[in-house]
Amino acid sequence: MKHILLLGAGFSCNWGGWSAADVNDFLPTVANVRADGHVLQVLSRTASAGGFEAALAELREDYAKAPTQENLAHLQTLQSAVTVMFRTMERGFASRPDWNFKHTVEYKIAHFLSGFDAIFTLNQDLLFERHYYDADLALNQPKKWFGWRRPGIRALNDLNQGRPYDVSLVTWTPIAPPFRLEAAHQPYIKMHGSWNWWSADGQQMLIMGGNKPAAIQQHPLLQWYHELFETYLSEPDSGLMVIGYGFGDPHINQMIERAADKNPTMLLFAVDPRGRSILPARISQIDAAGTSRPLLKDTFAGNEAERLKLMSFFS
């Protein structure tokens, strides 16, 4: 059985990552947002209906309809504030010595993650880059991986020379196609890009706001990532564990639904405090491999019964 993991914002929240509501609260504290009354009004208006992603979509649409310097300035104000948000959140991740809540082998986060054949994430933060180490995977028994890789990208710029290494000081860009997975290395796939990724034509590869499928189509690497996700799930006897994703992205849901139609043996394990109640109607019909309601930080702090429930996904 292929074991596939899909992560949403609720995963990073276990280590202090921010939810959409937290981001909505943070953005008005950024100086250039406070100085832009129009952006503040848009953020306020969309706070209860789509949040900052809806605000970003509105400002992009305004600029597309009327590409004036004023509309561009409003859009750039919010885009730069989102980058400030990620950098602020990264400081929280960087302050942790590691991401384990208990240090016996069976409770280490890498021990759990190493069981997946591929990890797909909708998150754009650098939590994995900071705390998921090749050595942690290589030491696991039975040995399955030499390490993990984000396929299809290379370093574009590294500002770490002469200072302590910080993953947030490296920017990345896609390699030229064709894209390939690296043998014996676990794929870690950032389906919506990352705040420190840039395309060859200077676009930030950060998929947010409205009409995400159209934005994804602009980037061949992200198109390939989405094709990989559906291909993995369409294989016979594949299983999907979903952690911290609220099923708010129709294009992601549609891929899961199409794969389930091709692969009627698919199993779904939901990890969310709301249980399976968050599943859209068609996805709720996928056979359940299990459900876990506690937060990961509580499960991996010593809740043995819940940990064993999660690990049953691999049996």
Supply the pLDDT for residue 133: 92
> What does the domain layout of the chain look like in residue ranges?
3-15+100-314, 20-94
Q: Where are the alpha helices (DSSP H) in 147-198?
A: none
pLDDT for the residue numbered 128: 96
The predicted model gives 129-139 an average pLDDT of 89
pLDDT for 141 equals 65
Tokens of 229: 């996700």
> What is the pTM for the complete model shown?
0.95
**Residue 121 to residue 245: CA distance in whole angstroms:** 9
Please state, in angstroms and rounded to a whole number, the distance separating the CA atoms of residues 153 and 200: 11
Alpha-carbon distance of 291 to 273, in angstroms, equals 9
d(CA 265, CA 251): 22
Compute the mean pLDDT over every residue in the chain, rounded to the nearest whole number: 95
pLDDT, one tens digit per residue, over 81-130 is 999 999 999 999 999 999 999 999 999 999 999 999 999 999 999 999 99
Residue 135 has pLDDT above 80, yes or no: yes
> N- to C-terminal Cα distance for the chain?
9
